Amino acid sequence: MKLLIDRYIFKEWLKVLCVTMMLILGILMLEDMYRNLKTFLEHGASFGTLLLYYSYVVPNCLCTVLPISFFISVLYLLNDMQSHNEVIALRASGMTVFQITRSLWIASWILMVFMGIFNAYVLPYASDRMQSILQKIEYDYQIQRGGSREQLGLQWHLCLHNERAGHLWHIRTFSLYSLRGDYVTLSFMENGHEIERIEAKTVAYESDRWKFYKGKRWLFSQEAFVPRRFIPFESWELQCEETPQLMSYLYKPVKHLGAGELKRIISFIPKDNPRFLEHRIKYYSILSSPLICLMVILLAIPFSLSGVRTNPMVGVSKAAGLFFVYYMVGSIGKMLGIQSTLSPWVAAWFPNLFMLILGIGLYWKLAPK
């Protein structure tokens, strides 16, 4: 009997979840089409390219849509059961609140594991692919208009300091399309002193290695750390962990960075670099988001099954209010993290842990026993 009730509740919840997800995803897709579709069509993007682009938009939205949809669906279902006296009937038969909501607890753990795997592996890939398609549409359009390949995706004054490897880069101009640049300087540092320098007129990134052309290799004195002599060269190669894409990511606003780009940045930049605290907070926030699924259950049950019977839409309004509180707490945590009051990891997990503790307290106090 209890297994039959679990299946019934799970099936009804799954219906509401699917409808809610499709509705929210549809709104987000329409919003993206409103912003970008006209530009894509003007740039001559093919139907296949558009289909591929929007197939990657969906997983990029899913990490936000799934927790919200789960919250709304659980609140709606429990409020609906409460309004139709189903909860009263089940409790009169001797079932506890946990037994009634057991299938929802199982669903929350399944979704939490799914989101953890999804955010760690699928989301970075989908984010990278979506950005690549956007770049391809823009570059193809510029080529159709007669633009020079050397000028596509042109970046000025690319700079990067790889403290681990002791590499200090400066490239005056670099094309992210042709992967070629002009007037590059690469300094090799050791204990804060320059021991070698590469200066070249042109540089290219091919086959995962840098190729320098028409330049000089300066060797420095180990005692005074001043240029001692130079060796001219026609071509010189270097294989290292720095890439043109990584350099370009560092100059993007944080809000425009996807999960894949953030993952590359924080794996490359030392943890004590204060300039990239916001990057770490955002990436750790993405990784911590699966905890929301557990938080949903802890908040939904007290709000739905305690008190008088209400219209199911009241649950939706409660969801909006609770998520407003969640994002307010998240903003406070982010601000404290950027100011170094909290570590990036604590700042990212702060809103989820706060709401989780609040949920445990409400569940313990308000949920019917």
Exposure of 81 in the CB half-sphere (CA atoms within 13 A): 26
Lowest-confidence segment of 118-132, 164-178, 352-366 by average pLDDT? 352-366
pLDDT digits (tens, 9 = 90+) for 7-33: 889 999 999 999 999 999 999 999 999
pLDDT digits (tens, 9 = 90+) for 51-69: 999 999 999 888 889 988 9
Q: Which range among 16-20, 158-162, 243-247 has the greatest average pLDDT?
A: 16-20
Spatial CB neighbours of 35, under 8 Å, sequence gap ≥ 6:
none
pLDDT bin (cut points 50, 70, 90) of residue 312 is low
DSSP 13-32: HHHHHHHHHHHHHHHHHHHH
| Percent above pLDDT 90 for the chain | 22
- The pLDDT score that the predictor gives to residue 311 is 59
Scanning the structure block, which residue is given the tokens 């549809």? Answer: 26
User: Would you give the DSSP letter of residue 119?
Assistant: I
Cα separation, 209 vs 237, whole angstroms: 7
User: Would you give the DSSP letter of residue 111?
Assistant: H
Whether 307 has a pLDDT exceeding 60, the answer reads no
- The pLDDT score that the predictor gives to residue 14 is 93
Whether 141 has a pLDDT exceeding 90, the answer reads no
The per-residue b/e assignment along 85-119, b for 16 or more CB within 10 angstroms, e otherwise, is ebbeebeeeebebeebbbbbeebbeebbeebbebb
User: Could you tell me the residue ranges of all domains in the chain?
Assistant: 2-143+275-366, 166-240
In the chain, the largest separation of any two C-alpha atoms, in whole Å, equals 91
The radius of gyration of the chain's CA atoms, rounded to the nearest angstrom, is: 27
pLDDT bin (cut points 50, 70, 90) of residue 234 is very high
pTM of whole model > 0.85?
no
